[in-house]
């Protein structure tokens, strides 16, 4: 078969088949897991810590309202500060990852992030102190975006890359299961200030030792000594080709629409159902349903993608789910059972969404500049996480209801499903050996 390649390494083979990436080409699924399972484990923990602020924000809204009289939009604005810095900084952090490796970026990032979470306990009466501390959180969070953890396993897995990414992304689902109830308990026992200290210190004690000992970059990666004089060059699109492509534009729009919708509904989910007279602990438990289903969504999407199901099809199906949750919210969102259904649907979609986006970026753009390209997507993920809850809080402050936000979220999700479904077949990237002197 005659395969011609462009300067970027993209194959022009008419069959447009998916070739193995050079980093793990020819390795069996068993061999990938035998050599890479520990990196998957510690990356799962790292991602879980990195997303803890998203899954605990809703628990802090009511205590901060009572303590300072701030509006829900003002409180959610902390996530917006995080988003702005992430959008600006994520591509640069992606470049650092491509240049120096995941370990060199992830370790200091987790340390800074956990410190910043603990420092939220020092919030004063001025809303500016709250927003200012969130800027510090943002500088830590941008260093540990999903880019770090997705690349740490992508460079070690090919045959079961989607499943490996799915397991890593399940770290956020585990946080969604346990952190709402744990945070509620911390607030009840130590107050909201003590809860922030507990989250920050606890996260550091769990993650940092494991990451220091076991987070390693793949062979022939930046910051890693080559194993032999013959290596394989990462292939894929150039940064310009990737960021200016139609596919990246579609993925970017999907990212903002989906993350804004899911984050907006998820962050305000606990305040929404406690307003119906449900106890805080019951509300936290119901929110945990979303965490369970997010793990199911992640693993399910990973298995389907590794079995060569169409990525755009899997994405389109998962992106439709929040629209269904929105319909349930509008029609039957006033009892515990319906609330559990909404939480489960949001979790199921969130689980599949992050996996699909990370996987599609590796397949459509390659690994040559994965850090920058997926880093840009990760920045947009953070942007959606900030915009969605802030907008939902603003809608609630104006109307004393979230219904208008949900009405807007439904067409946004359906649009995202149509866009991801039109991405087309994966390109092929030729494996090119290079010699090391």
HEC string of 213-275 equals: HHCCCCCCCCCCCCCCCEEEECCECCHHHHHCCHHHHHHHHHHHHHHHHHHHHHHCHHHHHHC
C-beta of residue 289 within 8 angstroms of C-beta of residue 342: no
Query: Looking at residue 4, what DSSP letter applies?
Result: -
The DSSP code for 125 is S
Domain span at residue 46 reads: 29-424
Question: Taking the alpha carbons of 172, 412, 378, 388 in that order, is the dihedral positive or negative?
Answer: negative
Give CA–CA dist 130/193, Å, rounded: 12
Q: What is the CATH number of the domain that holds 313?
A: 1.20.1250.20
Local confidence band at 206 (pLDDT 50, 70, 90 cut-offs): very high
357 in any annotated domain: yes
Residue 434 in any domain: the answer is no
Q: Which tokens sit at 293?
A: 């289903």
Domain assignment present for 8: no
Which H or E run includes 233?
Answer: strand 230-233
CA distance 139 to 98: 19
| Per-residue confidence (pLDDT) for residue 123, from 0 to 100 | 95
- Tokens, residue 131: 């927003």
Inside any domain, residue 14: no
Task: Provide DSSP, 83-104.
Answer: HHHHHHHHHHHHHHHHHH-HHH
Is residue 60 one of the residues assigned to a domain? yes
d(CA 235, CA 245): 17
Of the candidates 4, 6, 64, 23, the one whose C-alpha atom is nearest the C-alpha of residue 362 is: 23
Mean pLDDT of 146-158: 82
Decide if 18 is inside a domain.
Answer: no
- Our count of domains for the chain comes to 1
pLDDT, one tens digit per residue, over 153-176 is 877 788 788 788 888 888 877 887
Question: Please, how many CA atoms are within 13 Å of residue 37, restricted to the half-sphere of its CB?
Answer: 5
Please report the pLDDT score of residue 14 as a whole number: 33
Q: Would you say residue 2 lies in a domain?
A: no
Residue 219: predicted pLDDT: 58
Cα separation, 76 vs 64, in Å, equals 11
- pLDDT tens across 98-132, in order? 888 888 999 999 999 999 999 999 999 999 999 99
Average pLDDT over residues 216-221: 62
Query: What's the token pair of residue 155?
Result: 């460079």
16 found inside a domain = no
pLDDT tens digit sequence for 412-431:
999 999 999 999 888 877 55
Residue range 367-393: mean pLDDT, rounded: 85
Of the candidates 398, 354, 394, 397, the residue with the CA atom closest to the CA atom of residue 374: 354
Question: Residue 37 has what pLDDT?
Answer: 87
pLDDT recorded at residue 127: 94
Q: pLDDT tens for residues 236-247? A: 788 899 899 999
């Amino acid at each position: 078969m005659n395969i011609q390649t462009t300067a970027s390494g993209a194959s022009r083979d008419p069959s447009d088949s998916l070739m193995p990436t050079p980093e793990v080409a020819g390795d069996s699924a068993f061999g990938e897991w035998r050599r890479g399972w520990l990196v998957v484990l510690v990356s799962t923990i790292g991602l879980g810590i990195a997303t803890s602020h998203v899954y605990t924000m809703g628990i802090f809204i009511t205590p901060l309202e009572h303590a300072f009289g701030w509006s829900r939009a003002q409180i959610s604005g902390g996530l917006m500060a995080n988003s702005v810095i992430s959008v600006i900084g994520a591509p640069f952090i992606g470049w650092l990852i491509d240049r120096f490796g995941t370990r060199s970026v992830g370790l200091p990032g987790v340390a800074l992030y956990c410190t910043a979470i603990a420092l939220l306990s020092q919030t004063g009466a001025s809303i500016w102190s709250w927003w200012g501390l969130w800027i510090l959180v943002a500088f830590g969070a941008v260093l540990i975006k999903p880019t770090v953890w997705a690349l740490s396993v992508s460079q070690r897995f090919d045959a079961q890359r989607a499943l490996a990414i799915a397991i890593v992304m399940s770290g956020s689902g585990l946080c969604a299961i346990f952190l709402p109830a744990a945070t509620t308990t911390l607030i009840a026992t130590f107050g909201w200030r003590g809860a922030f200290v507990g989250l920050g210190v606890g996260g550091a004690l769990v993650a940092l030792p494991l990451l220091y000992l076991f987070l390693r970059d793949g062979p022939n990666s930046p910051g890693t000594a080559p194993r032999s004089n013959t290596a394989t060059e990462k292939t894929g699109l150039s940064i310009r080709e990737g960021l200016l492509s139609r596919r990246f534009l579609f993925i970017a729009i999907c990212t903002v629409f989906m993350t804004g919708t899911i984050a907006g509904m998820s962050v305000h989910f606990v305040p929404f159902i406690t307003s119906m007279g449900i106890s805080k602990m019951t509300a936290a438990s119901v929110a945990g349903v979303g965490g369970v289903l997010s793990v199911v969504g992640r693993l399910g999407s990973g298995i389907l993608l590794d079995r060569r199901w169409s990525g755009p099809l899997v994405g389109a199906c998962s992106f439709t789910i929040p629209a269904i949750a929105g319909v349930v919210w509008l029609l039957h969102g006033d009892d515990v059972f319906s609330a559990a259904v909404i939480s489960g649907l949001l979790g199921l979609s969130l689980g599949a969404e992050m996996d699909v986006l990370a996987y599609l970026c590796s397949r459509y753009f390659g690994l040559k500049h994965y850090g920058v390209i997926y880093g840009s997507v990760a920045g947009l993920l953070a942007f959606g996480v900030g915009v969605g809850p802030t907008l939902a809080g603003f809608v609630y402050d104006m109307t004393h209801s979230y219904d208008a936000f949900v009405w807007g979220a439904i067409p946004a999700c359906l649009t995202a499903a149509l866009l991801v479904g039109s991405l087309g077949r994966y390109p092929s990237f030729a494996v090119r050996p290079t010699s090391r002197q």
